[in-house]
Amino acid sequence: MLEIEEGSGNVYWDLNMADAKTMYVKAQLANKISDIIRRRRLTQQQAALVLDIPQPTLSSMLRGRFRDISEANMLEFLNRLGQDVDIVIRKAPRNHPLGQTQVLSSPP
């Protein structure tokens, strides 16, 4: 019989990666960037011009290869795509004493 284990919701954590939290946040940011590019019907070349990055870098990021792209750069990409980015800092609940970072978005 096949044993099934429920994931944590963070595949990087489930794979025991040391930078799981950072990679998960970057994955969420890359997903938002991809959604906006798709909604605006931009080609990768057009989007790369807007983001001021080489098209191959954009292509890699959209395919999940974003380890070398900082979160700060990804936030700047969102700004260049016409998005406001709000950073909210609040006290973590007692069951998360170290705090956590998450990406939230409002409806398009």
Report pLDDT digits (tens) over 1-15: 788 878 777 776 767
For the entire predicted model, the pTM comes to 0.81
Which pLDDT does position 13 carry in this prediction?
A: 72
> In order of start, what are the domains of the chain with their CATH numbers?
11-80 (1.10.260.40)
CA distances from 66 to 8, 22, 30, 94 (A): 21, 11, 8, 32
**Is 8 in a helix, a strand, or coil?**
coil
CA distances from 104 to 21, 39, 49, 101 (A): 15, 18, 26, 10
Q: What element of type H or E holds 71?
A: helix 71-80
Radius of gyration of the chain from its Cα atoms, rounded to whole angstroms = 16
Q: With both helix axes pointing from N to C terminus, report the angle between 20-39 and 71-80 in degrees, rounded to the nearest 10.
A: 20
Decide which of 57 and 97 is more confident. Answer: 57
Determine the average pLDDT of the residues in 64-75. 94
- Identify which of 34, 101, 102 has the alpha carbon closest to the alpha carbon of residue 65: 34
